[in-house]
A and B are shown apart, each in its own frame.
Chain A
């Protein structure tokens, strides 16, 4: 009797502990993976950024010297600017075009399946294929685009070779490639808007534009914030397109090299891992600042709208 009582007391006291114990085995695999492939590399990278480590070893502690060098490195600032410029140039068309395309399909231009397919199909292609297609199209001498420009009496454009144009070419390529994903997000949230709202608006005598401005776009606000945030982060990480299009070079007069490529070139081509790590961390902070600022902007506008 007493023995049983003791057992009951012990088991109830250790219930929480046992529950933890039985859950732990399920979490451990995740913890191991997260530690090995996320936490450890992040900490190791931070440590690297304070050393002179090269790919071949030979590293000594240099404190903040790498950060000081990076802040005074004109190439880092230039490539950081290229990345931000690309983000500004690409995010706007990637959001606006996706919205326009989704509206066109939703409003019901004939042959919906065809538009859906052709808007989304490029997204399925691997980046190497996309860039290869476009470098042929963009070729200033034998390319398809310049051929047609000349046919209609315009001058040839050095799509990949002119300083003022090369970044736009990367934007065009990227928009063509990835706009389909944003288009799909918009289309699905368009389809989720209740017909009720449109019926009510019609009863109140709203025409097409009034319905668009007062029903459709406000209903899409959450999607727009999501699409724009995802797009800003994706555009900041630009690397592959430039790296492939310019054969690992930096474009005409170095005008297209994004900061991630500069970090890659520093770490893996010039073997300066310490310095590359320091720049990675600076860029990491820039991404966080931009993302938080962006979230803050979009959120505050929503709050203001809610108050009205």
Chain B
């Protein structure tokens, strides 16, 4: 019977033990080689552990890029760890860096670097070494590159700019008469024009004109508010232990403008993130403000769409966004060959970031965005100029993507926009108060 299914004699106990010991020793030996002497022989590869926060469609694209880089650099082995976006990711990254046994390379948001660098959680990038791997400052738009420096030292290498875009349903906008001769959306470049466009769209849809999810979603509120605030040309500077420097009048103007949007016709005063995507995907609204990462979900929904940067409502072109950057989490004992491999991985990812554009992101590498291949990508090439008008959240240790502060901004703004319990003036004063109280606190780093 055992012969029939391919077994000969069961192995004797001695043979079994010998085999176990030999294979165990082989495994241990391989582990030693892999851990201590990565370049001992030509067959060995340097392992780079890379933490990132891309899931869903983005995650697939990022994995494909890592595979490409791995194929182009056979001496590298990228070992990715995917973690959930937001607070939990930054907690884990901070804790691993404090312990000094952090990954070789990590992805984070440019706006969070300022909270990390002063605490010694990040190691700096060496410009000369970057140049050896073909990465030079000229490759990046100035706005983005400057964002990567803290106290004059380079802590981050930008991969992309991910923008808060205006997606529009070309069919509905055409019916509302909002498209000009070459088929692009126009006429939204003033508060009146913007609100009027919303009303005209609402007539076409029979519901609302526009949607973006802002209830219970601090990130969406912050994106819209700080994006439009930057369009007024005003700035907001946050220095610990000092007064908040903010243009109160501009902030009030923006707050009341957004409040005007939520009149039930232009936009629904109750709309969360999922609802905003749902109503745009089903043609109930003709315009939505969303991060470019949602491009794929709209595409899957099959709505005829195009996209553009945030319309210039208040006079200064500005599109809110953040940038995914590569950082070197602090390590107590740096393995130089692995660190060099990390540089190599970053160079590879930047060179292959045309693929990243497929996910909707605008690559930070201008050699990619200037290429003919990128120009053929629609709608990506229609909003690529957003990178030159990038507006970030005001920089401080407590602000940025995935921060708790975004939720606190949303609370006070929603009190004005949703329940009318605060006037725009009171909401802005509440915002200034919250900013002030955070500035009084000791930065954790």
Contacts and interface: CB of A to CB of B under 8 A. Distances in A.
Contact of A142 (B270, B278, B414): B278
Nearest to A163: B419
Interface residues of A, number: 38
A56 B91 CA distance: 10
A54 B445 CA distance: 7
Nearest to A138: B272
Contacts of B403: 269-270
Interface string B384-426: 0000000000000010001111111011001100110100000
A57 interface: yes
B275 A269 contact: no
A252 interface: yes
> Which of A52, A57, A253, A270 neighbours the largest number of chain B CB atoms within 10 Å of its CB?
A253
A254 interface: yes
A258 interface: no
B91 A140 contact: no
Contacts of A135: 274
B215 A160 contact: yes
A270 B272 CA distance: 25
Nearest to B413: A253
Nearest to A156: B270
- Chain B interface size range: 35 or more
Residue in B90, B121, B215 whose Cβ sees the most chain A Cβ within 10 Å: B215
Given A140-B275, A141-B275, A246 B90 contact: no
A223 interface: no
Contacts of A271: 94, 444-445
Contacts of A245: 216
A55 B442 contact: no
A161 B270 contact: yes
Which of A160, A250, A257 counts the most B-chain CB atoms under 10 A from its CB? A250
A55 B216 contact: no
A272 B441 contact: yes
A251 interface: yes
Contacts of B88: 268
B25 interface: no
A65 to B, nearest CB: 11
Given A251-B216, A268-B87, A272-B444, A140 B271 contact: yes
A218 interface: no
Given A249-B407, A270-B404, A56 B94 contact: yes
Contact of A56 (B216, B270, B406, B445): B445
A58 interface: yes
A140 B86 contact: no
B348 interface: no
B436 to A, nearest CB: 14
Contacts of B402: 269
A139 interface: yes
A163 B87 contact: no
A113 B110 CA distance: 57
A163 B414 CA distance: 10
A268 B418 CA distance: 29
A144 to B, nearest CB: 12
A265 B87 contact: yes
Given A58-B445, A141-B268, A270-B398, A254 B98 contact: no
A101 B193 CA distance: 57
A272 B442 CA distance: 9
Contacts of B398: 270
Contacts of A191: none
Contacts of B419: 163, 253
A71 B445 CA distance: 25
- Pairs of residues from A and B, 8 with the lowest C-beta to C-beta distance, nearest first: A54-B444, A158-B270, A254-B411, A161-B215, A161-B270, A271-B444, A269-B87, A269-B404
Interface of A: 52, 54-58, 75, 135-136, 139-142, 158, 160-163, 166, 245-254, 256-257, 265-266, 268-272
